[in-house]
């Protein structure tokens, strides 16, 4: 019914570093799930409430996270807003999870930033995000002095999605059906997504054959080159060259006669400042935030899901937020 300090600290280390479960720890300690968690939870809660966790943060990332897939009446909102510290320094060499807030909206993020206080907000220099306008509105409202940076991965993904829409439309118009084995455009669907610099000569030849198989395929070829130019933006020799190419695409893509590519251009033009800020901030990325999401997903699968949102948040802060719960261990 009672665990000693050494047992509690050992259990916390197992949860954080070894992917253990509460039930597995209870089995090893010869006690019950409730006994183990009732000793660990206060330590995690005290570490979570420590205001020192929010000091020295200069780069902030945000992304949505789905923590359950069942009826929200039983577990609250399916989606959470995850806020991540991307300031990698001596004290915290890697990205770390700061909080998981119920809901996915600009209001949720705005309220969280407002609760942190003026000292916290004034210290944020860069705020990375994916192309979700709600988060952008919250940053503009609460972090006026910070530079918003649109994540490079999502920009390339937008271009790839537009290309895929063009391919499917042309496929339907020319054949009257969805892609099937043997259809030229269907055979190159994966090659279209790859960087052209990594294609072999045989793969380049397959692309050429598919583009010339029908006159209508010219739209796919043009969309392919536009998508590749968007990808090339992030692989220029210098940030200045990348910025010039990005500015050129923002100006030209909206006038493209292919509707999907024109829509992509309008989206990039809408996010122009956050897009170009990538080259002014040394390539600030929301990638570590996505990596934190991967760690969270692994922790959720290990536990076979969660029922209690508070327990879920504390466990995720432990494994992905680097909580120093050992200093809060007491009998």
pLDDT tens-digit readout, 124-153:
999 999 999 999 999 999 999 999 999 999
Lowest mean pLDDT among 64-73, 116-125, 186-195: 64-73
pLDDT value, residue 74: 57
pLDDT value, residue 90: 62
Query: Phi and psi for 149 in degrees, rounded to 5?
Result: -125, 120
HSE at residue 53, side-chain half, CA atoms within 13 A, is 24
Instruction: Decide if pLDDT at 91 tops 80.
Output: no
Kindly write down the DSSP assignment for every residue of 40-92, as one continuous string.
HHHHHHHHHT-GGGGSS--EEEEEEEE---S-HHHHS-SEEEEEEE---SSS-
Count of positions (residues) in the chain: 331
Q: What is the pLDDT of residues 188-211, one digit of tens each?
A: 999 999 999 999 999 999 999 999
Neighbours of 2 (CB within 10 A): 9
pLDDT band at 109 (very low <50, low <70, confident <90, very high): very high
Average pLDDT over residues 271-294: 94
Average pLDDT over residues 253-272: 97
Considering 65-69, 246-250, 317-321, the range whose residues carry the highest mean pLDDT is: 246-250
pLDDT band at 326 (very low <50, low <70, confident <90, very high): low
Checking 250-257 for CB contacts under 8 A at 24+ apart, the result is 250/275, 250/276, 253/226, 256/222, 256/226
Return d(Cα 101, Cα 97) in angstroms, integer. Answer: 11
pLDDT band at 1 (very low <50, low <70, confident <90, very high): confident
Strand segments, DSSP code E, in 87-146 are 96-102, 126-129
Average pLDDT over residues 106-125: 95
pLDDT value, residue 88: 83
Instruction: Decide if pLDDT at 331 tops 60.
Output: no
Lowest mean pLDDT among 75-79, 110-114, 318-322: 75-79
Instruction: Decide if pLDDT at 156 tops 80.
Output: yes
Return d(Cα 3, Cα 41) in angstroms, integer. Answer: 13
CA distance between the termini of the chain: 12
Average pLDDT over residues 228-252: 96
pLDDT value, residue 71: 62
Q: What is the pLDDT of residues 214-232, one digit of tens each?
A: 999 999 999 999 999 999 9
Tell which phi-psi region holds residue 269, choosing left (phi > 0), alpha (psi between -120 and 50) or beta.
alpha
Instruction: Decide if pLDDT at 304 tops 90.
Output: no
Instruction: Decide if pLDDT at 323 tops 90.
Output: no
């Amino acid at each position: 019914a009672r665990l000693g300090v050494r047992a509690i600290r050992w259990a916390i280390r197992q949860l954080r570093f070894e992917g253990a479960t509460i039930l597995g720890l209870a089995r090893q300690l010869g006690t019950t799930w409730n006994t183990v968690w009732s000793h660990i939870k206060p330590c995690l809660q005290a570490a979570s409430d420590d205001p020192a966790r929010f000091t020295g943060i200069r780069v902030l990332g945000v992304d949505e996270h789905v923590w359950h897939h069942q009826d929200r009446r039983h577990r609250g909102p399916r989606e959470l807003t995850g806020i991540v510290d991307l300031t990698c320094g001596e004290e915290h060499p890697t990205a770390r999870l700061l909080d998981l807030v119920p809901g996915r909206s600009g209001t949720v993020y705005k309220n969280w930033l407002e609760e942190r206080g003026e000292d916290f907000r004034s210290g944020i220099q860069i705020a990375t995000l994916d192309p979700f306008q709600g988060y952008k509105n919250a940053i503009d409202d609460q972090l006026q002095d910070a530079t918003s940076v649109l994540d490079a991965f999502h920009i390339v993904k937008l271009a790839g999605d537009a290309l895929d829409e063009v391919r499917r439309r042309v496929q339907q118009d020319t054949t009257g059906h969805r892609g099937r084995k043997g259809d030229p455009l269907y055979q190159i669907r994966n090659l279209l997504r790859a960087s052209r610099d990594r294609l072999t000569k045989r793969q380049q030849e397959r692309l050429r054959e598919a583009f010339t198989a029908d006159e209508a395929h010219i739209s796919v070829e043009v969309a392919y080159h536009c998508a590749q130019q968007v990808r090339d933006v992030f692989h220029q020799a210098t940030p200045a060259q990348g910025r010039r190419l990005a500015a050129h695409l923002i100006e030209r893509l909206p006038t493209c006669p292919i509707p999907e590519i024109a829509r992509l251009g309008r989206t990039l033009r809408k996010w122009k400042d956050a897009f170009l800020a990538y080259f002014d901030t040394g390539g600030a990325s929301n990638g570590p935030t996505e990596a934190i999401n991967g760690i969270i997903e692994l922790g959720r699968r290990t536990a076979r899901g969660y029922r209690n949102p508070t327990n879920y948040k504390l466990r995720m802060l432990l494994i992905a937020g680097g909580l120093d719960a050992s200093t809060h261990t007491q009998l």
